[in-house]
């Protein structure tokens, strides 16, 4: 096991956990926020499992996902917009608790949590299927088109899983206002996908044929 990579991953994991707690509980003004604790559990426990899996089975992919940064101006805009959306979701959810706006029933949060975990499993399967998975839009050396498994159903199963994850987070947090903010992710991710497909068509052999074979980007028969 690469101890340096493990230390780097651990540091970023702990930093993310602390940032999540700050964004969730400071706007709420209280630690008595069951929905916040629920989301923290279903987000960070599976994240730890995927991180350990990659550290053991595919450390190169883990290193890339920890360190790669977007270089294209178009994708930098997408990342910035995603960060704004992400902040809005958590801050609005916290303010919803602080000021006693309408909070969804706890059973809604539990149903959303189950769907969230199912999307996490889907994300883990994408990680298993695609060794070329990257945080940035690029064509890697010796990269091949993946057209089996989930990639035989939609061209971007990773984005399909993240759409579900991001839309379920505000429901787990019990906030309608946050859910409305999370809908921003749909045009944001569509912008990323369009740019990514341009890059893949230009640089990845066989991708144009793959697009003809698998017609849908994210949701079968819809998108």
Reported as a single tens digit per residue, the pLDDT across 150-183 is: 888 898 899 999 999 999 999 999 999 999 999 9
Q: Is residue 89 part of a domain?
A: yes
Question: How many domains does one find in the chain?
Answer: 1
Predicted structure pTM score: 0.85
- Looking up residue 184, the CATH number of its domain turns out to be 1.20.120.1630
Tell me the mean pLDDT in the region 181-202.
87
Q: What residue numbers bound the domain in which 201 lies?
A: 3-213
Domain contains 218: no
Residue 223 inside a domain? The answer is: no
CA angle 177, 78, 147 (to 5 degrees): 105
User: Is 222 inside a domain boundary?
Assistant: no
Alpha helices in 58-105 (DSSP H): 59-67, 73-98
Q: Does residue 219 belong to any structural domain of this protein?
A: no
103 DSSP β-pair partners: 175
For residues 148 and 129, is the Cβ–Cβ distance under 8 A? yes
User: For residue 175, what are the β-bridge partners?
Assistant: 103
CA-based diameter of the chain, in Å? 54
């Amino acid at each position: 096991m690469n101890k340096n990579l493990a230390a780097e991953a651990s540091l970023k994991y702990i930093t993310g956990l602390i940032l999540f707690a700050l964004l969730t509980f400071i706007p709420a003004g209280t630690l008595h926020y069951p929905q916040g604790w629920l989301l923290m559990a279903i987000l960070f426990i599976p994240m730890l499992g995927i991180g350990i899996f990659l550290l053991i089975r595919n450390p190169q992919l883990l290193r890339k996902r920890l360190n790669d940064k977007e270089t294209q101006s178009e994708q930098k805009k997408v990342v910035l917009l995603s960060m704004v959306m992400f902040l809005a979701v958590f801050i609005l959810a916290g303010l919803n608790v602080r000021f006693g706006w309408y909070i969804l029933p706890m059973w809604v949060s539990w149903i959303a949590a189950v769907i969230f975990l199912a999307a996490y499993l889907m994300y883990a399967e994408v990680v298993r299927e695609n060794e070329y998975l990257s945080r940035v839009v690029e064509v890697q050396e010796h990269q091949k088109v993946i057209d089996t498994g989930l990639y035989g159903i939609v061209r971007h199963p990773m984005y399909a899983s993240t759409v579900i994850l991001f839309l379920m987070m505000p429901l787990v947090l019990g906030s309608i206002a946050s859910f409305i903010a999370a809908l921003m992710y749909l045009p944001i991710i569509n912008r990323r996908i369009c740019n990514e497909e341009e890059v893949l068509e230009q640089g990845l052999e066989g991708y144009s044929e793959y697009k003809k074979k698998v017609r849908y980007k994210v949701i079968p028969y819809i998108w």
